[in-house]
Amino acid sequence: MGKGSNVQKAQQARERNQKKLGKSDEERKASLQKAKLDASAYMCKICRQTFMVNAKASLLYLHVTSKHDGTAPDACFDSLVGFDPNDPDGEKAAAAAKAAGPPKPKKVAKKKDDDLDALLSAGLGSKKK
């Protein structure tokens, strides 16, 4: 008897806690739905195998080469359009963009210096006159 009522009490406590958390049945359904979508965010168009939302492009590419060797990567996954096997996760491209980024502002700064020099010499010149 005692055991049974304990279970009931625990159940009631759990229900109370869930109400405190403020999650309605609809919200729980929605998050479940989202979890389902996340679990099958990527689906191979050929064999319909699914991959988690956080799967890296390199993992998807591995699936292409191991299961469908000779197939274009974007024939399996839309997300692999323009995929570069030598730079699977876009890290090289990101590094290249980072490396190519800084010089531009430097050039602008240098040009300013040049202008300043020109202004200074022009100012000195006019002062002499």
Tell me which residues touch Zn ion (CB under 5 A).
44, 46-47, 67
Q: Output 67 or 112, the one with its CB closest to Zn ion.
A: 67
Alpha helices, DSSP H, located in the chain: 2-21, 25-39, 57-67, 73-76, 91-100, 103-128
Q: Output 17 or 66, the one with its CB closest to Zn ion.
A: 66
Q: In angstroms, what is the minimal distance from the CB of 45 to Zn ion?
A: 8
Task: Indicate the burial class of 88 (C-beta count within 10 angstroms; 0-12, 13-18, 19 or more).
Answer: middle
Q: Output 48 or 98, the one with its CB closest to Zn ion.
A: 48
